[in-house]
Chains A and B, each alone.
Chain A
Amino acid sequence: MRQLITFIRKEFLHVFRDRKTLLMLFGLPIAQIVLFGFALSNEIKNSRIAVVDYSKDASTTRLISKIAASDYFDIQRSLAGAEQLQAAFKKGDIKMAVIFPANFGDDLMHTGKATMQVIADASDPNQATTITNYLSQIVTDYNTELAKDAGQPMQINPETQMLYNPELRGAPNFVPGVMALVLMLVCTMMTSVAIVKEKELGTMEILLVSPFKPVYIIISKLAPNLLISVLNLFIILLLSWLFLDLPVKGSLLLLVTSSILFILTSLSIGLLLSINAKTQQAAMMGSLMGMMLPTMLLTGFLFPIENMPLALQILSNLVPSRWYFIIVKRVMLKGLGITAVWREMLILTGMCLLLFTISLRKFKIRLQ
């Protein structure tokens, strides 16, 4: 046990001495969050929208003029009927449509409640969410105004419909995506490089001649990477909570447990890479090309898997991050519990055990 502690301490020294790499390791998630979080969801002004007014009364006219007065919207045209909307959306002429049904004014007058329809083009989910939020704000303001005039509560409910991408794939999706990507990269790259380095230095020979157990070597190599990855996980969660307003809705414990499961799977992949790589460069390239691309492409956070050719869909099942991505989305964004993710967790556990066993055995064979 004392031997193991000695070795783990040495591994931490390696990590802390290498300031540049350390900076990169923690800079990576922060840069990703900033990039995806801020650069890509800036204020959107002058969005072109269409208005269909079947009610044509004083209240709709007032609301429409309010919308028109806002900086955020540019009413492209007022359409006579909803039939024309489809074509306008398809051509990309409008980003959003607002429809007032024929009984809108009557409902509002008599019951104090009315429903309007908002349809947004969600093929760019970020934009769609942002502009529907702007609109809701205007409607809420208008509600207050009406209530003051009428001396009683008035309520207009915008009923929002996301066109083309009802699940809003993409918007909060990137946080789980960044988590999968960063954890995968850090774990595989750091691990494979750490072991190959010992081989290049010739220190591996000494370790093998010493009474130190090979499995201890593996454990010591994994320990600092596990810690760094868990720290990274918390950095990402904190950043997205503070700056992107994306708190963990579900159980934090469940999220962390499944993250550790994913981290261990990635570490095993790194281990496997290191056994086959002869130089640090080879290990680095292997992790970058071999892991980053499949993770980016086949996880589903950049491109929806359902839209892929069948062969790629099948292939994506082999990518661990795909399953992790599903877990994070369900637990973090939707707040679902273990009943919703146990299957994915089981798959990850299986992958982790399989990969770790293979790499452990291969590692031992090399020592013979």
Chain B
Amino acid sequence: MAPVISTNQLTKRFGQFIAANALTFEVDKGEIFGFLGANGAGKTTAMRMLCGLSIPSSGKATVAGFDVYTQTEKIKQNIGYMSQKFSLYDDLTVAENIRFYAGIYGMSTPAIKAKTNELLQELQLEKEAKTLVRALPLGWKQKLAFSVAIVHEPDIVFLDEPTGGVDPVTRRQFWDLIYAASDKGVTVFVTTHYMDEAEYCNRVSIMVDGVIAALDSPANLKQQFSANNMEDVFYELARNAKRKAD
């Protein structure tokens, strides 16, 4: 089976500064791929290139089978994105938010209606359909944000530190949603600061100073670095970093 994301020597330079250096990795369909790294390690740059927001300086990459240089519009059709800010409209209702995000991906009105009902049911938010998002608890907002990110049923969803600021129980519930999506065949590309979350991933890559310092399943990484948990693995790699966080 062809990988969903495939990069080869992918590099982004800003003048003299090499933000992402010769990244080479593959992500399989339905995989939950953790993308770790200290602040300033180059995670965001890499992710922006894969989302078609930033043109690479050199190297190759395809996302959902489309080239990141020439087919960014195709890529955008086939990916979802959720940022740490959740990115919902506070002054719109739950249903209006879903309708809006489905709408800008060009879904038809009947499809949007069906999808809205389905999502509300899944999230158990039927009663809150006409509630303004402003009034929802943080955990619900987060789940809603994830659901609207995959409302158009993309091949891949990029999650940029999606669990910032919520409690461990809510985080665990959020990961249940991620697993559910992954079971349906959606590839999940997630960055995080929480090392317990790294354990939930199928595979993890750890970036240090713009390069990928390690890439394997959490179990293998722990073995390789003779560490008890991912926290120790990360610390082992990141303490040698020369770049200061920006």
Q: Closest approach, in angstroms, between the C-beta of B189 and any C-beta of chain A?
A: 12
Contact, CB under 8 Å: B77 / A201? no
Contact, CB under 8 Å: A14 / B104? no
Contact, CB under 8 Å: B104 / A203? no
Contact, CB under 8 Å: A10 / B106? no
Instruction: Determine the chain B residues whose CB is within 8 A of the CB of A14 once the complex forms.
Output: 89, 91-92
Q: How far is the CA of A367 from the CA of B48 in the complex (A)?
A: 11
Q: Is A231 an interface residue (CB 8 A)?
A: no
Q: Is A3 an interface residue (CB 8 A)?
A: yes
Q: Residue of A at shortest CB range from B47? A: A209
On chain B, the number of residues with a Cβ less than 8 Å from chain A's Cβ atoms is 33
Q: Which of A191-216 contact B (CB under 8 A)?
A: 201-203, 205-212
Contact, CB under 8 Å: B51 / A209? yes
Contact, CB under 8 Å: B89 / A201? yes
Complex partner residue of B104 from A3, A17, A201, A368, CB under 8 angstroms:
A3
Complex partner residue of A3 from B85, B92, B106, B158, CB under 8 angstroms:
B106
Q: Is B202 an interface residue (CB 8 A)?
A: no
Q: Is B73 an interface residue (CB 8 A)?
A: yes
Q: Is A6 an interface residue (CB 8 A)?
A: yes
In the complex with contacts A6-B99, A17-B92, A205-B104 CB distance below 8 A: no
Q: How far is the CA of A6 from the CA of B116 in the complex (A)?
A: 15
Q: Residue of B at shortest CB range from A2? A: B106
Q: Closest approach, in angstroms, between the C-beta of B158 and any C-beta of chain A?
A: 8
Contact, CB under 8 Å: A13 / B92? yes
Q: Is A7 an interface residue (CB 8 A)?
A: yes
Contact, CB under 8 Å: B91 / A3? no
Q: How far is the CA of A205 from the CA of B52 in the complex (A)?
A: 12
In the complex with contacts A6-B104, A202-B83, A367-B53, A209-B89 CB distance below 8 A: no
Instruction: Determine the chain A residues whose CB is within 8 A of the CB of B51 once the complex forms.
Output: 209
Q: How far is the CA of A208 from the CA of B53 in the complex (A)?
A: 7
Q: Which of A163-212 contact B (CB under 8 A)?
A: 201-203, 205-212
Instruction: Determine the chain B residues whose CB is within 8 A of the CB of A71 once the complex forms.
Output: none
Q: How far is the CA of A209 from the CA of B82 in the complex (A)?
A: 10
Contact, CB under 8 Å: A205 / B81? yes
Q: How far is the CA of A203 from the CA of B82 in the complex (A)?
A: 9
Q: Is A18 an interface residue (CB 8 A)?
A: yes
Contact, CB under 8 Å: A202 / B79? no
Instruction: Determine the chain A residues whose CB is within 8 A of the CB of B158 once the complex forms.
Output: 209
Contact, CB under 8 Å: B83 / A2? no
Contact, CB under 8 Å: B87 / A206? yes
Q: Residue of A at shortest CB range from B76? A: A211
Q: Closest approach, in angstroms, between the C-beta of B54 and any C-beta of chain A?
A: 7
Contact, CB under 8 Å: A13 / B96? yes
Q: Is B88 an interface residue (CB 8 A)?
A: yes
Q: Is B128 an interface residue (CB 8 A)?
A: no
Contact, CB under 8 Å: B103 / A202? no
Q: Which of B91-126 contact A (CB under 8 A)?
A: 91-92, 96, 99-101, 103-106, 108
Contact, CB under 8 Å: B76 / A203? no
Q: Closest approach, in angstroms, between the C-beta of A277 and any C-beta of chain B?
A: 18
Q: How far is the CA of A3 from the CA of B108 in the complex (A)?
A: 10
Q: Residue of B at shortest CB range from A206? A: B87
- Indicate with 1 or 0, residue by residue over A1-39, a CB within 8 angstroms of chain B CB atoms: 011011100100110011000000000000000000000
Contact, CB under 8 Å: B89 / A10? yes
Q: Residue of A at shortest CB range from B134? A: A17
Q: Which of B37-80 contact A (CB under 8 A)?
A: 51-55, 73, 76-77, 79
Q: Closest approach, in angstroms, between the C-beta of B168 and any C-beta of chain A?
A: 23
Q: How far is the CA of A85 from the CA of B53 in the complex (A)?
A: 76
A-B interface, 3 closest residue pairs, ranked by CB to CB distance from nearest: A6-B103, A202-B85, A209-B81
Binding site for A on B (CB under 8 A): 51-55, 73, 76-77, 79, 81-92, 96, 99-101, 103-106, 108, 132, 149, 158
